[in-house]
Amino acid sequence: MDYKRLIIRGISYSQTQSGAYALLLEHEETNVKLPIVIGNFEAQSISLGLEKDIHPPRPLTHDLFSKFVITANYELTSVIIYQIVDGVFFSNINFKNKENKEELIMDARTSDAVAMAVRFDAPIYTTHQVLNEAGILLELEDVSKEVEMDEPVANEGDLSTLSISEINKLLEDAVREEDFDAALELQKEIKRRNKKIE
pLDDT digit string (tens) for 158-184? 677 777 777 777 777 776 676 666 766
User: What are the CA-CA distances from residue 98 to residues 41, 70, 95, 101, 198 (Å)?
Assistant: 30, 9, 9, 6, 50
Predicted structure pTM score: 0.69
Amino acid at 40: N
User: What are the CA-CA distances from residue 194 to residues 18, 97, 188, 189, 191 (Å)?
Assistant: 32, 46, 10, 9, 5
Element (H, E) at 139: none
Amino acid at 92: N
Average pLDDT over residues 43-60: 84
Average pLDDT over residues 181-190: 72
Share of the chain above pLDDT 90, in %: 43
Q: Which residue, among 13, 96, 170, has the nearest Cα to 188 in the 3D structure? A: 170
Q: Which fold has domain 4-134?
A: Bifunctional nuclease domain (3.10.690)
Is the pLDDT confidence value at 84 over 50?
Answer: yes
Average pLDDT over residues 143-160: 45
Q: How far apart are CA 20 and CA 43, in angstroms?
A: 9
Domain boundaries, the chain: 4-134, 140-197
**What is the pLDDT confidence band of residue 191, given thresholds at 50, 70 and 90?**
confident
End-to-end CA distance of the chain: 27
Q: Poorest-confidence range of 77-86, 114-123, 135-144, 176-185?
A: 135-144
**What is the pLDDT confidence band of residue 151, given thresholds at 50, 70 and 90?**
very low
Q: Which residues, other chains included, contact 125 with Cβ-Cβ below 8 Å and sequence gap of 6+?
A: 3, 4, 5, 6, 78, 79, 80, 81
Average pLDDT over residues 15-44: 86
Q: How far apart are CA 136 and CA 63, in angstroms?
A: 31
Q: Out of 8-12, 72-76, 139-143, 149-153, give the one with best mean pLDDT.
A: 72-76
